[in-house]
Chains A and B, each alone.
Chain A
Amino acid sequence: MDSSLLANAESVVARARTGDPEALEALYRAFEVPVYNLARRICRTAEDAEDVLQETFFEVCRSIGRYREEGSLWGWIRTIASSKALMRLRRNKYRETDELHDEVVGKRHEDTHLRMDLEAALERLPETSRAVVWLHDVEGYTHEEIAQMMGKTPSFSKSQLARAHARLRGWLGEEVTQ
């Protein structure tokens, strides 16, 4: 994230609260890339991620008056973006067959000892697992926070993370020879 943009974004919050279009656009410009990146890492397609980007900033425009500056501005926007991305996952029907599809394709890849790069391996994870990996390992959310956003338990988040790492390890050819 561009630190100069971030500093600028913090300074325009007061104007954004009054509905000033220039200030709202400045917020968008400051955070569009990190929001898109988060959404794209969680959602399956670029189109979904762009929709999440729009949904997030529509919510930011509507709710900036309720931002209390108790945490960082990025933290507030990131939570909105994460919720919107997870909502998108819940809405998409193809998720229902995701696990089954993954099991079948996963076995084929493991059988052929195909070594994938991390980007491709992350993309191949089931959506829920990928979301947990990204939110926990990269964005730094705790299992409790992830569970709250997903409407699940912390144990669910932990087991998703463990399964995801076990799969990544296999796909990346990182198993320890025993």
Chain B
Amino acid sequence: MTHLSMETLLSLREPGTEPGAAAAREHLDQCPDCRTELDRLHQRVARLKALPTLRPSRDRWPETAARFRAERLRRRNRQIGYVGLAAAASLVLAVIGGDHPQPAVSASSQIPQVMERSQALESALSEFNPDGRVLDGRTASMAQELEDRIAQLDRKLQATELSQQQARDQDLLKLWRERVGLLDALMDVHVTRASNAGL
């Protein structure tokens, strides 16, 4: 008697009807060897499912988070570059158009400068390449906290940019200044630590 192949036995476990399934089942009814083979197949799969769960030997989250933060920073730099260009373009338009001159010290006129400062700090930070350096625990924790606060601030900035024009300029200016302050602090953390460690 020709026994069922492994492929046929496996197909009998699949939902739905495979071609030849009826003939295979008929054979199975008459063949104790193939029934034993199918039982063992079921048992093997059950044992595979019951194998112990393997766990990583070390925590990969800090590296994953650092890589994600670095990518987010690069993305933000690009976005700020675009926003900066847009802001510069709108200033040029305001100068050229000149229908409604803004007061010299208005929030909207100061925002581009603060954004520019923020961008310069991010560029400096990026050149410093903090993600490529080894940090001690305390410095890493301070840097992490500052980066998280910058990320929170960015979310606020996004929300504010979508709000009503009249209210938003003062808020935007305040948020951008706060961002510059945080970036300054972050730069200090990295540079101070680097000089202390002689890097």
Q: Which of A1-22 contact B (CB under 8 A)?
A: 18-21
Q: Which of B23-48 contact A (CB under 8 A)?
A: 33, 36-37, 40-41, 44-45, 47-48
Please encode chain A, from 94 to 136, with 1 for each CB lying within 8 Å of some chain B CB and 0 for all others: 0000000000000000000000001100100000000001100
Q: Which residues of chain B come closer than 8 Å to A25, judged between CB atoms? A: 61, 65
Q: Which residues of chain A come closer than 8 Å to B41, judged between CB atoms? A: 165
Q: Which residues of chain B come closer than 8 Å to A40, judged between CB atoms? A: 54
Size bracket, chain B contacts: 35 or more
Task: Report if A137-B45 is in contact (Cβ < 8 Å); known contacts: A32-B56, A37-B54, A122-B51.
Answer: yes
Task: Report if A33-B44 is in contact (Cβ < 8 Å); known contacts: A159-B7, A162-B5.
Answer: no
Q: Which residues of chain B come closer than 8 Å to A174, judged between CB atoms? A: 40, 44
Q: Which of B66-117 contact A (CB under 8 A)?
A: 67-68, 71-72
Nearest to B7 among chain A residues (CB) is: A162
Contact B53 A33 (CB under 8 A): yes
User: How many Å from the CB of A140 to the closest CB on chain B?
Assistant: 10
Please encode chain A, from 12 to 55, with 1 for each CB lying within 8 Å of some chain B CB and 0 for all others: 00000011110011001100111011001100001001100110
Query: Is A67 among interface residues, defined by CB-CB distance under 8 A?
Result: no
User: How many Å from the CB of A49 to the closest CB on chain B?
Assistant: 7
Query: Is A152 among interface residues, defined by CB-CB distance under 8 A?
Result: no
Partner of B71 from A29, A50, A62 at Cβ < 8 Å:
A62
Query: Is B64 among interface residues, defined by CB-CB distance under 8 A?
Result: yes
Query: Is A147 among interface residues, defined by CB-CB distance under 8 A?
Result: no
Q: Which residues of chain A come closer than 8 Å to B64, judged between CB atoms? A: 28, 54, 57-58, 61
Task: Report if A18-B48 is in contact (Cβ < 8 Å); known contacts: A36-B56, A37-B55, A62-B68.
Answer: no
Query: Is B10 among interface residues, defined by CB-CB distance under 8 A?
Result: yes
User: How many Å from the CB of B8 to the closest CB on chain A?
Assistant: 9
Q: Which residues of chain A come closer than 8 Å to B51, judged between CB atoms? A: 41, 118-119, 122, 138
Contact B48 A138 (CB under 8 A): yes
User: How many Å from the CB of B128 to the closest CB on chain A?
Assistant: 21
**Chain B contact residues, CB within 8 Å of chain A:** 3, 5-7, 10-11, 14, 33, 36-37, 40-41, 44-45, 47-49, 51, 53-58, 60-61, 63-65, 67-68, 71-72, 148, 151, 155
**Chain A contact residues, CB within 8 Å of chain B:** 18-21, 24-25, 28-29, 32-34, 36-37, 40-41, 46, 49-50, 53-54, 57-58, 61-62, 118-119, 122, 133-134, 137-138, 143, 158-159, 161-163, 165-166, 168-169, 172, 174, 176, 178
